[in-house]
Structure 1
Amino acid sequence: MKFSFSPWYRITFAIQKPLLDVPVFILCIEQLKHREKNMKMKIVDIHADGDAEEEYIDLEVLVDCNLKFYALTDSTYTASKGISNKHKHFYKFPTQEASKGERVRLRTGRKAKGPTSISGIDYLFHWEMKSAVWNDAGDAATLYELSAWTTVKT
């Protein structure tokens, strides 16, 4: 049996003793609900038109936090409307303290020459992608809160 692990599933094992006193192992795979209510940021707008220089995602800070604990991925929806494990693009935000109510914009394309401030946006970041990220009908923008990670040089 093959299992695909993702942050959207919790896998638990249990041992039960039925009437015949023979242990039975039970595998439970339960799909987790969104935990957006516990997140300190949320996605509020996705402007996708197939052009990397025009695409962006706006986020709102719900609770004072450091953006370095957040990452955004471009994945796809599965047939059952869940999120797949196929993350095509990954962006980890840099270290930046942010306060409740502030807005964050992640532009898909490269940093353009000209003004670097946008009305209503407190922090502006660039993914530096050459091509569009939000260009397929089945794309899903997923925001992750990272509590811990390990990096090992290969």
Structure 2
Amino acid sequence: MSINQSEFWDHNSYNHPPLTDEMLASAEKGLDVKLPALFVELLRLQNGGYTKGFAFPMIEKTSWAEDHIPLSDMFGIVTDHSVDTALNILQTPYLTNEWGLPERQVLLTGEGHWWITLDYRGSTEPTVKWIDVERGDEVHIADSFQDFFNGLVPEDRFVV
């Protein structure tokens, strides 16, 4: 099942400003990466915030669940320091240091003990990883952000 991009986002309670070309260029330069085109397309629709509640089915068990991981929100790109937000990929360097994460990651979502990341360690085209800080686990989720997005399903599919 593929999710329609226009049906991806819920509310942006952090009031992130719309993504501009300048903000994107600043983020890519600061993080020293080229962000996946689909990720950028989604941020142009809404610059981060809450999703309509998705999950990615997993074969390998994670600390979250035996059969899926959540994507209830996703970070945006916020270059204006006066905007108070917890959902900003530009916090990646700070959070990487704070939580002892591997280098060459861009954080998509997480809460400290776990993260979903774009992993640039092997290539300029990132894979998507689940990193569990407390357990020291890294689990491969998808070969690309496109594959990750295409694999998302409504989270209520996993609610008992």
Pick the structure with more helix per residue. Answer: 2
Same fold (TM over 0.5): no
Pick the structure with more strand per residue. Answer: 1
TM-score by length of 2: 0.27
For the pair shown, the structure with the greater C-alpha radius of gyration is: 1
TM-score by length of 1: 0.28
